[in-house]
Homo-oligomer: A and B are copies of this chain.
Amino acid sequence: MKRTKIKSLLGHAATGEKVTVMGWIRTFRNNQFLSINDGSTLQNVQAVVALEQFDETTLKRLTTGACVSITGELIPSPARGQAVEIKVSELEILGDCDAEKYPLQPKKHSLEFLRDIAHLRSRTNTFGAVMRVRHAMAFAVHQFFNERGFYYIHTPIITGSDAEGAGAMFRVSTLDPSNPPKDESGNINYKEDFFGKETNLTVSGQLEVETYALALSETYTFGPTFRAENSNTTRHLAEFWMIEPEMAFYDIQDNMNLAQEFLQYLVKYALENCKDDLEFLDKRAQDEENTKPKEQRSELGLIDRLKFVTENDFQRLTYTEAIDIFKKTAIPTKKKKFSIPR
């Protein structure tokens, strides 16, 4: 039978129709209630197994993380928080999961813990939500620019230029690192390297996309970018995806209009298309906030802050006005002195 995704199932009425769902078991309670997730949505679907229907060996294999295919009638659910559930008539275990060894449990794991199991963290609510939102944002970026007649340019990753000296770079080479060829002065002879010159990973596609902006008028690039600073902070990434619009014939007002429209478009898209995931992330962030002392907690939750972006016009001001505001509100501390020149 053709598989139905849980996302489309949960929007359905409980028609008694026979459906097949495939996914991974989140929990199996009381030898009766299977909670299954297939990643199409944050939500699980509940599947009810009649105890006498399957032998004990099969039931024992229904562990957290096991992959199953179930078929059954879509019926109204008496449980709270779900309109429908599945009354299982057929069950196939597609992949077993050793409960002793599987590191994910039906509880909240710390991001530090998940960092060490990158091959499995995609199955958590947190990473599922983040990746679904990230997908939606990437798509919305392309849709925003496409609707406005911008052209997407794939700028090169391997480059001989260093953009605006934006950062430390990773060297890219096929020379034998143990015994690189040398020139007459004893320096490494990059003429013998793959591209006949020294090359690095790009820190920006700006230079190349500008050559297209000066021909196609409105262009952008959206691709991986690299920084080799050895800085292990939460603000630093060695590899990240960057969006760079480049336009001919734009003045500063056009630039500001584009930036505001772009941000509001993306946030609105997320609010409309990622409701479940944002509510989950909002709650997760709120839980984190609540571990802080009361006076350090942020007043607005994630969704509140996103709505603030879409519902308000962006303030535009001069550098001088910005400094004035900053001087009035910035509280210099011992560690962070207000050091912008007057």
Any B CB within 8 A of the CB of A239: yes
A138 touches B152 (CB 8 A): yes
Q: Is A228 an interface residue (CB 8 A)?
A: yes
Residue in contact with A178 in the complex, picked from B120, B157, B170, B187, CB distance below 8 Å: B187
A-B interface, 7 closest residue pairs, ranked by CB to CB distance from nearest: A39-B216, A122-B215, A123-B215, A135-B151, A22-B249, A135-B152, A119-B211
Interface size on A, residues (CB 8 A): 68
Interface residues of A (CB under 8 A from B): 3, 5, 7, 22-24, 38-40, 67, 69, 94, 118-120, 122-123, 127-128, 131-132, 134-135, 138-139, 142-143, 146, 149, 151-154, 156-158, 168, 170-175, 177-178, 180, 187-188, 194-195, 201, 211-212, 214-218, 223-224, 226, 228, 230, 238-239, 241, 248-249
Task: Tell me, in angstroms, the Cα distance from A39 to B150 when the chains sit together.
Answer: 10
Q: CB distance A224 to B154 under 8 Å?
A: yes
Which of B40, B217, B238 makes the CB contact (< 8 A) with A194? B238
| Given A139-B142, A154-B224, A177-B188: 9 more A-B contacts, CB < 8 Å | A7-B149, A120-B211, A128-B216, A134-B154, A139-B152, A154-B241, A170-B194, A171-B177, A177-B180
Bound form: Cα–Cα A320–B7 in Å: 40
* Known contacts A142-B142, A194-B170: A40-B249 contact under CB 8 Å: no
Tell me the bound Cα distance from A239 to B24 in angstroms.
Answer: 37
Which B residue's beta carbon lies closest to that of A273?
B146
| Copy total for this chain | 2
| Contact (A151, B131) CB under 8 Å given A119-B211, A157-B224 | yes
**A157 in contact with B239 given A39-B217, A135-B151, A223-B223 (CB within 8 Å):** yes
Report the minimal beta-carbon distance from A97 to chain B, rounded to whole angstroms: 11
Asked if B131 contacts A216 (CB within 8 A), the reply is yes
Residues of B within 8 A of A40 (CB): 149, 216-218
Once the chains bind, are A138 and B149 in contact (CB under 8 Å)? Answer: no
Do A139 and B134 contact each other (CB < 8 Å), given the known contacts A123-B215, A216-B40? no
Partner of A211, one of B122, B157, B180, B187: B122
A95 to B123, CA, bound (A): 55
Bound CA–CA A225/B249 (angstroms): 34
> Shortest beta-carbon distance, A13 to chain B, in Å?
20
- From residue A143, how far is it (CB to closest CB) to chain B in Å? 8
Taking CB atoms, residues of chain B closer than 8 Å to A122 are: 211-212, 214-216
A174 touches B216 (CB 8 A): no
Which residue from B134, B173, B195, B218 sits with its C-beta under 8 Å from A177? B173
A-B residue pairs in contact (CB < 8 Å), sample of 28: A5-B217, A22-B217, A23-B217, A24-B214, A40-B149, A40-B216, A67-B214, A94-B249, A122-B216, A123-B215, A128-B216, A131-B151, A134-B152, A135-B153, A139-B152, A154-B224, A157-B157, A157-B224, A157-B226, A158-B170, A158-B238, A170-B194, A172-B172, A174-B228, A175-B177, A177-B177, A178-B188, A194-B230
